[in-house]
Chain A
Amino acid sequence: MPSHKSNCAKHSSNSAKRWLISGHVQSVGFRPYVFKLAQEHDLHGWVKNLADGVEIIASGNSHSLAEFENALLLSPPPLARPRLVSCDYFSGKIPEKFSIQTNSNEKSNGHGYVLPDFCICDDCLQELHDPNNRRYRYPFINCTQCGPRYTVINSLPYARCNTTMHSFELCPACATEYNNPADRRFHAEPIACPDCGPTLEFRSGNESVRSNTKTIDHTIKALREGKIVAAKGIGGYHLMCDAHNEEAVARLRERKKRPDKPFAVLFPRRGSDDLTMVRQHADTDDISADMLCHARRPIVLVPKADTFSLATNIAPRLNQLGVMLPHSPLQELISNDFDGPLIATSANISGEPVLITESEVERHLNKVADAFLHHDREIIHPADDSVFSTVSNKSSAIRLGRGIAPLELELPFELSAPILALGCQMKNTVAMAWDKRVVISPHIGELGSARSISLMTQIIKEMQNFYNVTPQIITCDAHPGFSYQQWLKNQEAKVIKVLHHHAHASALTGENNINEPLLVFTWDGLGYGDDESLWGGETFYGQPGQWHRVASFRPWKAAGGDKVPQQPWRSAAALHWSNNQTWQTDDTDMAYQAWQKDINCHNTTAVGRLFDAAAATLGLVNKATFEAHAPSWLESIAEGKGRAVTLPIEEDTQGIWRTDWQPLLELLNNNNSSIKQRSADFHSTLAENIIQQALLAREKFKVNKIGLSGGVFQNRRLSDETIILLEQHGFEAITHSTVPCNDAGISYGQIIEAINK
């Protein structure tokens, strides 16, 4: 959508004008669109790409110029997002025709855009399946309306020579399309065909085949035989296997050392709306259907259908399934030929960035994959699949990745100095802000790994190059032990440390463009607090730069350091011990003594740990094998309407309202009630607690806007229930949508917090 209206002065008859346009305007068919428009209005002049945008010079009678100008930003091609930078009268020499000029070597001045990757468009899809087309079944077909972008771009301006396609010389047929303004492949930078473009290679054991046709047959055959194939995609490799084959899925779990973590499923497009096969196994609603079919093609979390009949070990004990449709022509061919759902999970080493090179994949996954499907179009930037969910009838980002990132957002005001935000330790993203722009990187991973840190520093360097900005300020988490602290020591920029939960609250406020004080619940698993405890159940009143911690939970002591989040039983034990109750003592005697003696103990108020405690108390999960393992199993088992118990709230000596978690223990240990019911009761009790806190805040601060941020609110049951209650009480619920509510949104929140300090 055009985000700026023309602000040109009134025009006189027969004149020439110059427009500078930025935004998403390069290689999305914008120049041909301008060309066509100029011809329709009988104008002459030119349109050309600058490093950071497009320049248009047009001359003609004043009426035509005015119509041209009005149309310019109104109906651009679907992928274009033009923004008017300036508009002046032009007094230079005007040629006799209108043309598209192609050469420009200007350097970026910070107005350039790096577009995310797009899924295959309808036109290319049709050609892909048309036996008479020269790109019939060509796995790298693309045009200006689709194809890879971010993952193949080396530098700006976006031109073939600055992408990983530079090594493929265009054949005459492709060159003709590339140079023809009337063709939809005019300056489609990754343009390719079987004669001149990338080629697939299939490897299994000693067998190796290079071909764009046979390799897909080999892949399908391997998948049908129950084998695991590592296939190179747009932003990295996927591990694939037959989603109906329980034994194959089990083998993948065993080899990847992932006993429980849910796998995403890739479905072939079937039926008039592409979703017929998806619906056999998952209950899509309008919002999830839209997201699934969107050009971003994320993984969407959708409730399992009653008719779900895929391998039961795909998403064990969860009531949701991660579903996606093919995004690249290669995935389209594989999933169409396979004619059934496939597991498609990121090929990485747990917590690390997705693998992108042939050699890395063969080295690290030689014991995981039975076969490899490579190709020779190099990936520069890894991008995992994006993940979305539906919360309270709204799409909600969980992971920013392929198709979404780099994610652009607008700041409420212009910055005087560029700022870099380093984000969080887990689910790291980084963000760069300058002028009125913020760009959030794709998901990087868990920073405890050397590869993640190195990717983080690489992305930071590239952001500086892409946009020609040098951060003068670096903002990061206040936690002293995050892995980027070492890197930070060598930076010269001024450092602004932001408390983790302030960043959550500011991310929510910034995303929703709120300019008045509000109450924000920031509930998650852990964040460094300014009182030597580990926060995670905090409620703030205020706005970015001025958050007042008005409420929290009664702190409890947990033993075991980083083992606490990995072993939910520790949270359950900590709550029971704090309440003078026993906790199963098979092999926990030493832990109990450590807890008593304060060995490796920390005080916390993290609601995420209450979910862990609940799951362990109900006997669901003692040791977590993936993040949010216990909370997601707890959520999945809940059934029916929950009966809320009121948790007492008391003001402490510093005036902070403290919710006492103690009644939760009684609720969870009530063996007269089913586990399903107790889980539902637990969720309802926390939703009710939010209402109680909000009512107190309304009385004291006259506040009506209630924000929800932090990873706990990925829990749909809790969020949906809370939002309904808030609305029933006349509150306005403010939630995340574009920016993840989890720690992936922290980098953005740090920027918003830092610029308001």
Chain B
Amino acid sequence: MTKHEYVTLAHGNGGCLMRELIEQVISKPLANSQLNINNDSAILSGLNITGDRELVMSSDSFTVQPWKFPGGDIGSLAAHGVINDLAVAAAEPSHFSLNIIIEEGLKISTLEQAIESLARTCKEHDIAVVCGDTKVVPRGEGSGLYLAVTGIGTKPASIRLGMEQIKPGDKIIVSGSVGDHGAAIMLARESFGLQSSLKSDAASILPISRALLSFSGLRFMRDPTRGGLATVAHEIKHATQLGAILKEEAIPISEAVRSMCEMLGYDPLYLACEGRLVAVVAADQADMALEAIRQSGDYTDAAIIGEIRNQDDDVCIETEIGGLRILPELENDPLPRIC
């Protein structure tokens, strides 16, 4: 980090550079007892609300090229993104604020469609958008449309989730195939002009998180967005020093994602999902938790994909033949290393 004088695109890819930027430049001056950069949301413990519930707040901003893609658009993505961030904190979202930054020249109809789609998603989840702000920036100073959403919800006070709850031997569950969103966006953005069944997985994961909350062995949930599944494992490793082994055969990956990655030379474990949930669950409850996920909706691909290992172990993937390949932390412009 210290080597960089300017922000690069890699500072936003979810990998090690981004973590360093947040740690060293952003969270340091802001430091307070409630700011935890390992979580996408915060429990507002100072604010009393009635009963045995706590307030939870989360915020996210969205920019995506193209704004519309198979399986969603920037509006639904923004709503799902904040819903999911609250869901993995065990919260039920209730209120959103919406900031819109528009670049001069955007088609009004595009804006209409995006907001319509956001509104529809909020309505489906009984969420009220209660305040907001709109700015227009001159042409060339933004890339079309940015949405920034802050969401508030409540969670049962008795449930404590977090990386600090994770223990060696815990199982890792994913709710469906990984990498679909990242692959679909890439395909749509580069307009490869190919017929493909690729579709973003963007969706609310609230049904899944609700189904898991009853498990005492539930330790931690995360939606694997930027940097994908491998990056979630690295975030756990970074916060707890605990390694992980993911089982190659067990990880659900759709054929379309697989073949696109094969062709472009990408690893689907690093591609973003926008409608998947990764849960870390005590080993003895993992099978039941998996069953609960499957019962909660159309989640037939959900699977136990690995387990948490010991202190100082690596983040690895176990190959079909029993090899243990290290999954490196997402790098700045990964260079080939095989000769």
**Which A residues fall within an 8 A CB radius of B?**
256-257, 349-352, 363-364, 424-426, 447-451, 453, 479-483, 524-528, 534, 536, 559-566, 587-591, 593-594, 597, 599-600, 602, 606, 608, 711, 743
- Return the chain A residue nearest B193 by Cβ: A593
Hey, which chain B residues are within 8 Å of A363, CB to CB? 322
Other A-B contacts than A450-B326, A479-B337, A480-B335, 19 sampled, CB-CB below 8 A, are: A350-B321, A351-B323, A363-B322, A426-B338, A448-B337, A449-B326, A450-B324, A453-B314, A481-B335, A483-B328, A525-B339, A526-B339, A559-B264, A561-B265, A587-B263, A589-B194, A593-B190, A593-B193, A597-B190
Among B319, B324, B334, find the residue whose CB has the most chain A CB atoms closer than 10 A: B324
The answer to whether the Cβ of B6 comes within 8 Å of any Cβ in the partner chain is: no
Q: Assuming the A-B contacts A364-B322, A453-B314, are A562 and B336 also in contact, with contact meaning beta carbons closer than 8 angstroms in the complex?
A: yes
Residues 239-268 of B at the A interface (beta carbon under 8 Å): 260, 262-266
In the assembled complex, the Cα of A608 lies from the Cα of B325 at a distance in Å of 24
Instruction: Please give me the 4 A-B residue pairs with the lowest Cβ-Cβ distance, nearest first.
Output: A560-B265, A525-B339, A526-B339, A561-B265
In the assembled complex, the Cα of A299 lies from the Cα of B335 at a distance in Å of 34
Hey, which chain A residues are within 8 Å of B266, CB to CB? 561, 600
Cross-chain pair count, CB within 8 angstroms: 112
Are A450 and B337 in touch, CB under 8 angstroms?
Answer: no
Other-chain residue from A350, A587, A597 in contact with B323 (beta carbon distance below 8 A)? A350
Provide 9 A-B residue pairs closer than 8 Å at the C-beta atoms, listed in order of the A residue. A448-B325, A480-B335, A527-B339, A564-B265, A566-B338, A593-B193, A599-B190, A711-B339, A743-B339
**Least Cβ–Cβ distance between B228 and chain A, in angstroms:** 15
Count of B residues near A, CB < 8 Å?
Answer: 30
- Return the chain B residue nearest A477 by Cβ: B337
**Least Cβ–Cβ distance between B200 and chain A, in angstroms:** 18
**Least Cβ–Cβ distance between A710 and chain B, in angstroms:** 10
Q: Assuming the A-B contacts A351-B323, A453-B314, A590-B192, are A426 and B334 also in contact, with contact meaning beta carbons closer than 8 angstroms in the complex?
A: no
Other-chain residue from A481, A563, A591 in contact with B337 (beta carbon distance below 8 A)? A481
Are A479 and B335 in touch, CB under 8 angstroms?
Answer: yes
Hey, which chain A residues are within 8 Å of B325, CB to CB? 448-450
- Return the chain A residue nearest B262 by Cβ: A563
**Least Cβ–Cβ distance between B23 and chain A, in angstroms:** 15
Are B326 and A561 in touch, CB under 8 angstroms?
Answer: no
Hey, which chain A residues are within 8 Å of B339, CB to CB? 424-426, 524-527, 536, 565, 606, 608, 711, 743
- Return the chain A residue nearest B315 by Cβ: A450
**Least Cβ–Cβ distance between B104 and chain A, in angstroms:** 27
In the assembled complex, the Cα of A102 lies from the Cα of B323 at a distance in Å of 46
The answer to whether the Cβ of B331 comes within 8 Å of any Cβ in the partner chain is: yes
In the assembled complex, the Cα of A565 lies from the Cα of B335 at a distance in Å of 13
Are B260 and A590 in touch, CB under 8 angstroms?
Answer: yes
In the assembled complex, the Cα of A560 lies from the Cα of B193 at a distance in Å of 19
**Least Cβ–Cβ distance between A257 and chain B, in angstroms:** 5
Q: Assuming the A-B contacts A349-B322, A594-B263, are A565 and B190 also in contact, with contact meaning beta carbons closer than 8 angstroms in the complex?
A: no
Residues 277-321 of B at the A interface (beta carbon under 8 Å): 313-314, 316, 319-321
**Least Cβ–Cβ distance between B41 and chain A, in angstroms:** 29
Are A565 and B336 in touch, CB under 8 angstroms?
Answer: yes
In the assembled complex, the Cα of A746 lies from the Cα of B49 at a distance in Å of 64
Are B265 and A600 in touch, CB under 8 angstroms?
Answer: yes
In the assembled complex, the Cα of A447 lies from the Cα of B314 at a distance in Å of 13
Residues 179-196 of B at the A interface (beta carbon under 8 Å): 186, 190, 192-194
In the assembled complex, the Cα of A568 lies from the Cα of B321 at a distance in Å of 24
Are B322 and A561 in touch, CB under 8 angstroms?
Answer: no
- Return the chain B residue nearest A426 by Cβ: B339
Hey, which chain B residues are within 8 Å of A448, CB to CB? 325-326, 337
In the assembled complex, the Cα of A450 lies from the Cα of B324 at a distance in Å of 6
- Return the chain B residue nearest A742 by Cβ: B339
In the assembled complex, the Cα of A426 lies from the Cα of B326 at a distance in Å of 14
In the assembled complex, the Cα of A562 lies from the Cα of B266 at a distance in Å of 9
**Least Cβ–Cβ distance between B156 and chain A, in angstroms:** 39
Hey, which chain B residues are within 8 Å of A562, CB to CB? 265, 336-338
Are B314 and A526 in touch, CB under 8 angstroms?
Answer: no
Are A602 and B323 in touch, CB under 8 angstroms?
Answer: no
Among A351, A449, A608, find the residue whose CB has the most chain B CB atoms closer than 10 A: A449
- Return the chain B residue nearest A257 by Cβ: B321
Among B192, B194, B320, B336, find the residue whose CB has the most chain A CB atoms closer than 10 A: B336
Hey, which chain B residues are within 8 Å of A599, CB to CB? 186, 190, 264
Are B264 and A600 in touch, CB under 8 angstroms?
Answer: yes
Among B193, B260, B263, B339, find the residue whose CB has the most chain A CB atoms closer than 10 A: B339
- Return the chain A residue nearest B320 by Cβ: A257
Other-chain residue from B263, B320, B328, B338 in contact with A590 (beta carbon distance below 8 A)? B263
Hey, which chain B residues are within 8 Å of A559, CB to CB? 264-265
**Least Cβ–Cβ distance between B291 and chain A, in angstroms:** 29
**Least Cβ–Cβ distance between A2 and chain B, in angstroms:** 40
In the assembled complex, the Cα of A600 lies from the Cα of B331 at a distance in Å of 13
**Least Cβ–Cβ distance between A526 and chain B, in angstroms:** 4
Hey, which chain A residues are within 8 Å of B194, CB to CB? 589-590
In the assembled complex, the Cα of A477 lies from the Cα of B58 at a distance in Å of 42
Among A524, A534, A590, find the residue whose CB has the most chain B CB atoms closer than 10 A: A590
Are B338 and A565 in touch, CB under 8 angstroms?
Answer: yes
Hey, which chain B residues are within 8 Å of A527, CB to CB? 339
Hey, which chain B residues are within 8 Å of A606, CB to CB? 339
In the assembled complex, the Cα of A727 lies from the Cα of B36 at a distance in Å of 69
Hey, which chain B residues are within 8 Å of A563, CB to CB? 262, 265
Hey, which chain B residues are within 8 Å of A711, CB to CB? 339
In the assembled complex, the Cα of A177 lies from the Cα of B337 at a distance in Å of 53
Q: Assuming the A-B contacts A351-B323, A600-B266, are A564 and B336 also in contact, with contact meaning beta carbons closer than 8 angstroms in the complex?
A: yes
Are B334 and A481 in touch, CB under 8 angstroms?
Answer: yes
Hey, which chain A residues are within 8 Å of B264, CB to CB? 559-560, 590-591, 594, 599-600
- Return the chain B residue nearest A524 by Cβ: B339
**Least Cβ–Cβ distance between A533 and chain B, in angstroms:** 10
- Return the chain A residue nearest B324 by Cβ: A450
- Return the chain A residue nearest B194 by Cβ: A590
- Return the chain A residue nearest B260 by Cβ: A590
Are B335 and A349 in touch, CB under 8 angstroms?
Answer: no
- Return the chain A residue nearest B245 by Cβ: A450
In the assembled complex, the Cα of A526 lies from the Cα of B263 at a distance in Å of 21
Q: Assuming the A-B contacts A562-B265, A564-B265, are A593 and B192 also in contact, with contact meaning beta carbons closer than 8 angstroms in the complex?
A: yes
**Least Cβ–Cβ distance between B330 and chain A, in angstroms:** 11
**Least Cβ–Cβ distance between A346 and chain B, in angstroms:** 14
Hey, which chain A residues are within 8 Å of B319, CB to CB? 349
**Least Cβ–Cβ distance between A195 and chain B, in angstroms:** 38
In the assembled complex, the Cα of A448 lies from the Cα of B323 at a distance in Å of 10
- Return the chain B residue nearest A566 by Cβ: B338
Hey, which chain B residues are within 8 Å of A743, CB to CB? 339
Residues 204-228 of B at the A interface (beta carbon under 8 Å): none
In the assembled complex, the Cα of A188 lies from the Cα of B25 at a distance in Å of 63
In the assembled complex, the Cα of A257 lies from the Cα of B321 at a distance in Å of 8
Hey, which chain A residues are within 8 Å of B186, CB to CB? 599
- Return the chain B residue nearest A604 by Cβ: B336
Are A602 and B321 in touch, CB under 8 angstroms?
Answer: no
**Least Cβ–Cβ distance between A101 and chain B, in angstroms:** 45
In the assembled complex, the Cα of A426 lies from the Cα of B314 at a distance in Å of 19
In the assembled complex, the Cα of A755 lies from the Cα of B199 at a distance in Å of 55
Are A349 and B323 in touch, CB under 8 angstroms?
Answer: yes
**Least Cβ–Cβ distance between A516 and chain B, in angstroms:** 30
**Least Cβ–Cβ distance between A483 and chain B, in angstroms:** 6
**Least Cβ–Cβ distance between B247 and chain A, in angstroms:** 14
In the assembled complex, the Cα of A287 lies from the Cα of B335 at a distance in Å of 41
**Least Cβ–Cβ distance between B83 and chain A, in angstroms:** 31
**Least Cβ–Cβ distance between B241 and chain A, in angstroms:** 12
In the assembled complex, the Cα of A426 lies from the Cα of B338 at a distance in Å of 7
In the assembled complex, the Cα of A564 lies from the Cα of B262 at a distance in Å of 11
Hey, which chain B residues are within 8 Å of A351, CB to CB? 323
- Return the chain A residue nearest B314 by Cβ: A450
Hey, which chain B residues are within 8 Å of A453, CB to CB? 314, 326
- Return the chain B residue nearest A451 by Cβ: B324
**Least Cβ–Cβ distance between B321 and chain A, in angstroms:** 5
Hey, which chain A residues are within 8 Å of B190, CB to CB? 593-594, 597, 599
**Least Cβ–Cβ distance between B190 and chain A, in angstroms:** 6
Among B313, B319, B322, find the residue whose CB has the most chain A CB atoms closer than 10 A: B322
